[in-house]
Amino acid sequence: MDWTRAARTGTPRKPPGRDYLSGVTRPEDILVPSPSGVCCKLGGFHIDPTRPVERAVITHAHSDHARAGHGAVLATQETLDLMRLRCGENFASTTQALAYGESVYLGGAKITLHPAGHVLGSAQVAVEASGLRVVASGDYKNVADPTCAPFELVRCDLFITEATFALPVFRHGDPDAEIAKLLHSLTLLPERAHLVGAYSLGKAQRAIALLRKAGYRAPIYLHGAMQNITNYYVGRGIALGELRLARGASKSNLAGTITLCPPSALNDRWTRRFPDPLAAFASGWMRVRARARQQGVALPLVISDHADWNGLTATIAATGASEIWVTHGQEDALVHWCTSRGLKARPLGIVGYGEEEDAGTAAGDAAPPLCDENRDEGERQ
């Protein structure tokens, strides 16, 4: 049985109510944590599993959440398209697209996707049964982003939140001010090529959109690894202005320009094609000086696609959930915050999330690819 058939035949005759026969009496009966991701026994699917499974709901196309090799995959059209771009045509046996706000039913569970505001196509997964609702957020941010649909708050009984930046030291601030820093540096050091390290999916396109919003009209150069995904964004109607590949440009023409590249390329031989390159890095991690310095970043730009401390805590409170599960990141601090406010909270300890981020922050060579990501780092001199 794949997703498509499940969705068509699985629609119950009556809307799901509190159904004692299904055995669902508490939110944790709907989803169960497992080492490879949360699992819905009722519907027979996993959310963002880190191992190949029969049926997977994927929140977004970052490689730590979206792995190749599952049987049936349910996700937004954008996420499916992006997975295809990154992992190849045959990343799953079957796929089914689900638009934001639409629902499918599977084994008595109702599945609805809601915008997560993280990257293009990113979704929160709401699973309902017996009148209870669980929301698995995936990665999310509750601030404006011109390249994706805004985060939608979904009230629920159990909220599964990420915790990438779950320490009070992480307050991301205004991304426009960070872009202004980059543009100021460009006027101050006009003979230097400004390289901006940014994750290939999401951050790079958002940084370009923010530059355009700030009135930067010059062509923006791209590392080859970003070309496909960026073209896809443009194809989805996101205006990014004139883009060029750095590969074709002569060294002297790159003085005083901005080039977006994967973070791992900042210390790569690839940088030798640029005149006196200056390494910038757009990431929430840049808030902490030691992290920026370890990576030899000269211009840290605090621009994050994850909610910061205030964003996480405000969202948790607004969902109205009485129980919170915390995945990947600084679980301790967020669990402490929840418990001190009378919320039931526990860390999930799922192994494998957050690796796409870390692959980018490792100072050394690119981490081993999770799927066919080597094309991402594939541009060599």
Partner 1 sequence: MNRFGELLGRLAYEPSRNNKLRLITDYFRSTADPERGWALAALTGALRFPHAKPGLIRNLIAERTDPVLFELSYDYVGDLSETVALMWPSGPSESGKERDEEPTLTSVIETLGTLGKAQLPRQLARWLDALDETGRWALIKLVTGGLRVGISARLAKAAAAALAGRNVDDLEVIWPGLAPPYHELFAWLEGRADKPTSSDPAPFRPPMLAHALDDADLSELNADDFKAEWKWDGIRVQAVAGRQDGDPAGRLLARLYSRTGEEISKSFPDLLDALRLPGAIDGELLIKRDGRIQSFNVLQQRLNRKTVTAKLMNEFPAHLRAYDLLADGDEDLRERPFAERRTRLEDFVARLKELRIDLSPLVAFRSWDELITARKNPAAAGAGADAAAVEGVMLKRRDALYLPGRPKGPWWKWKRDPFVIDAVLMYAQRGHGKRSSFYSDYTFGVWTQGERGDELVPVGKAYFGFTDEELLEIDRFVRQNTVERFGPVREVVHEPDRGLVLEVAFEGLQRSSRHKSALAMRFPRINRLRWDKPPGEADRLDRLENLIQRIEQGHLQGQTAR
Positions in the binding site for partner 1 (CB under 8 A): 167-171, 173, 181, 188-189, 266-272, 276, 279, 287-290, 292-293, 296-300, 330, 332-333, 336-337, 340, 362-365
Nearer to partner 1, 91 or 170 (CB): 170
Are 208 and 243 a contacting pair, CB within 8 Å? yes
Output the smallest distance, CB 47 to partner 1, in A.
27
CA dihedral (288, 291, 294, 300) positive or negative: negative
Which tokens hold the place of 61? 């196309």
Write down how long the chain is: 381
Nearer to partner 1, 41 or 181 (CB): 181
Helices marked H in the chain — which ranges? 3-9, 27-30, 77-87, 175-188, 203-213, 227-235, 289-294, 309-319, 331-340, 355-361
Output the smallest distance, CB 36 to partner 1, in A.
27
Are 350 and 327 a contacting pair, CB within 8 Å? yes
Measured distance CA(291)–CA(306) in Å, rounded: 17
Output the smallest distance, CB 337 to partner 1, in A.
7
Nearer to partner 1, 102 or 276 (CB): 276
Output the smallest distance, CB 184 to partner 1, in A.
9
Output the smallest distance, CB 156 to partner 1, in A.
25
Measured distance CA(102)–CA(203) in Å, rounded: 27
Nearer to partner 1, 239 or 363 (CB): 363
Question: Which 3 state secondary structure label does DSSP give 2?
Answer: coil
Nearer to partner 1, 26 or 336 (CB): 336
Measured distance CA(122)–CA(137) in Å, rounded: 9
Output the smallest distance, CB 126 to partner 1, in A.
29
Nearer to partner 1, 189 or 238 (CB): 189
Measured distance CA(153)–CA(204) in Å, rounded: 25
Output the smallest distance, CB 35 to partner 1, in A.
24
Which tokens hold the place of 57? 């709901």
Nearer to partner 1, 102 or 332 (CB): 332
Question: Which 3 state secondary structure label does DSSP give 316?
Answer: helix
Are 240 and 217 a contacting pair, CB within 8 Å? no
Are 134 and 126 a contacting pair, CB within 8 Å? yes
Nearer to partner 1, 37 or 197 (CB): 197
Output the smallest distance, CB 333 to partner 1, in A.
5
